[in-house]
Amino acid sequence: MRNTWITVLVFVVSALVLSVPVFAHHGAAAYDISKNITVTGTVTAFEYVNPHVLISIDVKTPSGKVEQWKGELTSPNRLSRAGWTKSTIKPGDQLSMTGGPAKSGATTMWINKLSKNGEEIQLGGGE
């Protein structure tokens, strides 16, 4: 009987220790969501993967230089409930991404509004 309790205790403690990384998820913590910026460019990559969908676009600056911007969205599961699929966005599409810029100053953002070829795409709420 005592071995059973020890086994159960070891299992419970192990499960709790291994689940700690799940609680470490921070979502949009790296972004300043109190500010909004908008960038417009051509899609170079669309990653419809967990835990967050990623979009890369090439943005031409006023000086003519091309910068690569990355935008991060919620999970594919939430976006699929808003009608998204793996082919919603394709390389070559023209996108405008609006969202909170990275606190680090990197060319990344947490997207809260997205327009493709001038037409707004629904994000599924909760952004």
For residue range 65-76, what is the model confidence (pLDDT) as tens digits? 999 999 999 999
Q: Where are the domains of the chain?
A: 37-121
* Cα gap 43→6, rounded to integer Å: 55
pLDDT-above-90 percentage for the chain: 70
pLDDT, one tens digit per residue, over 20-77 is 444 445 567 889 989 999 999 999 999 999 999 999 999 999 999 999 999 999 999 9
Could you tell me the pTM of the whole model? 0.76
Question: Which pLDDT does position 87 carry in this prediction?
Answer: 94
CATH 2.40.50.1010 matches 37-121: yes
Is 123:82 a contact under the CB 8 Å cutoff?
yes
Q: Which regions of the chain does DSSP assign to beta strands (E)?
A: 37-47, 54-60, 66-72, 94-101, 108-116, 119-121
Identify whether the C-beta of residue 102 lies closer than 8 Å to the C-beta of residue 30.
yes
